[in-house]
């Protein structure tokens, strides 16, 4: 017997799984929901607010000339010194265990065994981390601008927007790098500790040692590239190479070299870090096994 009706029913019942891009945004949506309910988002928000409140109080009370001489120096002092720290903290908080946590906490089994590409999970989580970090930065910046408007009026120097654009690229690069490290380890603790050590200590130390003592431009260090975020407030833009000769007495001198990444160089380094670390992280996550 030919049962056309049954056949039609079966064909209609063919399961329609959303496309990979749609699934990516589904992951992003639920991951953001997760972040907003998490303590880490709240803690990071509080840290950002504390920095803002401290600067508001100190500048209001002591009125330091280094901040109040011009709007440029104000934003340079406020944003230039703090935003990279907030970005690094965001990468540690949101990126440090983003992938390793899926293995350690076994949450990966809940998602990865479904009909979804692993790349959708990875990128979806990355976008969620980026959005959560970006929100923290925006809140921090909103308070900064409110202070700036109070002291210097509504004319905001365009260097602030340039600095913000560089910060966004830096955030992408730092998160990409944190995700890469997170995909290397199955332990959240390892991936978080290594991210902390690299961004808060190791990169800065290596940069200092090789530029000042060895005299090599640290073009391969991401924190070196981040210098453009604060240097953009300096007019004219700092020289690429600054050599300082210090006289130590008795005819002896100490020559130290300081490098400043040019804007194009900084952007290329950040983009390079973002692209390479994302490709590597994706590749590792695709190959990793949920044992």
Tell me the three state secondary structure of residue 202: helix
187 binds other proteins (CB under 8 A): no
Q: What is the smallest separation between the CB atom of 124 and other proteins, expressed in angstroms?
A: 10
Q: What mask, x for binding other proteins by CB under 8 A, covers residues 8 to 37? A: --xx--xxxxx-x--x--x---x--xx--x
Establish if 153 lies at the interface with other proteins (CB under 8 A): no
Region at 215 (left for phi over 0; alpha for psi -120 to 50; beta for the rest):
left
Among 79, 87, 116, 123, binds other proteins (CB under 8 A): 116
How many residues contact other proteins, by CB under 8 A?
A: 34
Q: Please name every residue paired with 242 in a beta bridge, in sequence order, or none if there are none.
A: 258
Among 47, 68, 72, 112, binds other proteins (CB under 8 A): 112
Q: Is 183 in the site for other proteins (CB under 8 A)?
A: no
Cβ at position 181, least distance to other proteins in Å: 22
- What are the phi and psi torsion angles at 15 (to 5°)? -75, 130
* Least distance to other proteins, CB of residue 42, Å: 12
Report how far residue 128's alpha carbon sits from residue 46's, in angstroms, rounded to the nearest whole number: 19
* H-state helical runs in the chain: 4-12, 20-37, 39-62, 65-68, 71-75, 81-90, 100-104, 107-112, 118-152, 158-184, 188-196, 203-208, 222-225, 227-231, 263-287
Tokens of 23: 């699934």
Binding mask 232-271 for other proteins (x = CB under 8 A): ----------------------------------------
Q: Which stretch binds other proteins (CB under 8 A): 84-92, 104-112, 190-198, 211-219?
A: 104-112
Rg (CA), the chain: 24
Q: Which residues bind other proteins (CB under 8 A)?
A: 2, 6-7, 10-11, 14-18, 20, 23, 26, 30, 33-34, 37-38, 105-117, 289-291
């Amino acid at each position: 017997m030919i049962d056309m009706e049954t056949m039609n029913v079966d064909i209609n019942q063919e399961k329609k799984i959303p496309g990979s891009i749609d699934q990516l945004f589904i992951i992003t949506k639920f991951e953001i929901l997760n972040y907003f309910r998490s303590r880490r988002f709240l803690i990071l928000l509080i840290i950002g607010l504390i920095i803002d409140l401290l600067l508001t109080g100190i500048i209001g009370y002591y009125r330091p000339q280094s901040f109040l001489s011009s709007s440029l120096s104000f934003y340079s002092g406020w944003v230039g010194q703090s935003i990279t720290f907030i970005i690094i903290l965001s990468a540690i908080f949101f990126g440090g265990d983003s992938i390793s946590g899926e293995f350690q906490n076994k949450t990966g089994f809940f998602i990865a065994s479904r009909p979804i590409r692993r790349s959708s999970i990875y990128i979806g989580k990355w976008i969620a981390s980026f959005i959560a970090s970006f929100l923290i930065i925006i809140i921090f910046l909103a308070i900064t601008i409110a202070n700036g408007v109070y002291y210097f009026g509504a004319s905001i120097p365009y260097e602030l927007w340039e600095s913000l654009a560089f910060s966004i690229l830096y955030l992408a690069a730092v998160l990409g790098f944190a995700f890469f490290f997170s995909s290397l380890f199955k332990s959240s603790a390892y991936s978080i500790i290594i991210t902390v050590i690299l961004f808060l200590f190791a990169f800065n130390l290596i940069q200092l040692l090789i530029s000042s003592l060895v005299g090599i431009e640290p073009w391969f260090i991401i924190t070196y590239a981040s210098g453009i975020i604060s240097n953009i407030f300096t007019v004219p833009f700092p020289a690429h190479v600054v050599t300082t000769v210090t006289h130590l007495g008795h005819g002896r001198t100490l020559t130290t070299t300081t490098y400043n990444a040019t804007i194009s160089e900084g952007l290329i380094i950040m983009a390079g870090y973002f692209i390479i670390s994302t490709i590597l992280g994706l590749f590792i996550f695709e190959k990793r096994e949920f044992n």
